[in-house]
Amino acid sequence: MISANTFRSPGGISLLIASCATFILLAFHPHIHPESTAQMLRQLADPALGGQSAHVHGAIIAVFGLLLVGVIELAHVLGLRRTAVGFGLAVYALGSAAVAVAMLFDGFITSQLASVLLQKVDAGENASQVLDAAPSVFALVSVLIQVFTKAGSCAMGIGMACLSWSARSRARALAWLGLAALLPPLATIGSGVWLGRHQLMAVALCQALWYLAAAAFLLRHCAKGKQVETLVANTY
C-alpha cells in the first residue's frame, strides 16, 4: 500500500499562507516623511520605527522562504529534469535571494546606518559634513534597494512563467497567470518607475494570483494521489 505521506502537499499550504501574508506585511510597511536631513536621521534611527521595520522585513524574508518551499514542490511535481522547469526554479530562487537582499538593506541596514550617522551629529563630529553627505548616502541605499527589488521580482516572474508554461497542458490557467505575473515586474524595469507601496502591491497582487493557482494545482495533485492510494488499498 502507498503511504499517505507521499501525497501530502506542504508546498501547497505554504503558498496559500505566504501569498496572503504578503499583503498583510506590505500594509504594515513603515514610512517616513521628513522635512530635513536631521529629521530623516532621527526618524530612521528611532528604535520603535526601526523595530517595526526589522520585524516587517524579517517576516517578508520568512514569507519568501515559504514561497520558495512551494515553488520547489511545484518543480518536483512538474519534473526537475525538464529544462524549462529546472531553469525556472533556478531563476526563481535567484530572484528570491535578490529580494531578500533588498529587504535586508531596507529593514536592517538603513536604520543602523542612520543611528551611526546620528551619533556623529549629536557628538558634534563634523556634524555639518555628515548632514550634507547623508542624503547622498541614503539615495545610494535607496537605489540599491530598488535595483535588487526590481531585478529579483523580474527573475521570480521569469521563473513563474517557465514553471507554469511547462504545465500548460495540465493547467492552462496556471500557465496564463504565470505570464501575467511576469508583466508587472518587466513594466517597472522598462518604465523606470520608482517602486512605492502602490507599485509593490500591484506586483504582489499579480504574483499572488499565480501562487494561489500553483497552490490549487499542488493540492489537486495531492488529492489525485490520495485517490490512487485508496484505489491501490481497495485492490489489495
- pLDDT score, position 124: 77
Higher pLDDT: 169 or 80? It is: 80
- pLDDT score, position 23: 83
180: left (phi over 0), alpha (psi -120 to 50) or beta: alpha
b/e sequence 177-196, b meaning 16+ C-beta within 10 Å: bbebbbebbeebeeeeeebe
Sign of CA dihedral 205, 11, 152, 52: positive
CB 149 within 8 A of CB 60: no
Nearest Cα to 56, choosing from 152, 205, 200, 208? 200
How far CA 22 is from CA of 55, 71, 73, 196, in Å, comes to: 13, 16, 20, 15
Q: How many CB atoms are closer than 10 A to CB 206?
A: 19
Q: How far apart are CA 28 and CA 58, in angstroms?
A: 12
Q: What is the pTM of this model?
A: 0.86
Q: How far apart are CA 164 and CA 99, in angstroms?
A: 21
- Give the confidence band of 225 by pLDDT, cuts at 50, 70, 90: low
- pLDDT, one tens digit per residue, over 21-53 is 988 898 888 888 888 888 999 999 999 998 999
How far CA 184 is from CA of 43, 157, 172, in Å, comes to: 31, 9, 20
Phi, psi (5° rounding) for residue 149? -65, -45
b/e sequence 17-38, b meaning 16+ C-beta within 10 Å: bbbebbeebeeebbeeeeeebb
Residue 121 has pLDDT above 70, yes or no: yes
C-alpha cell at 146: 530598488
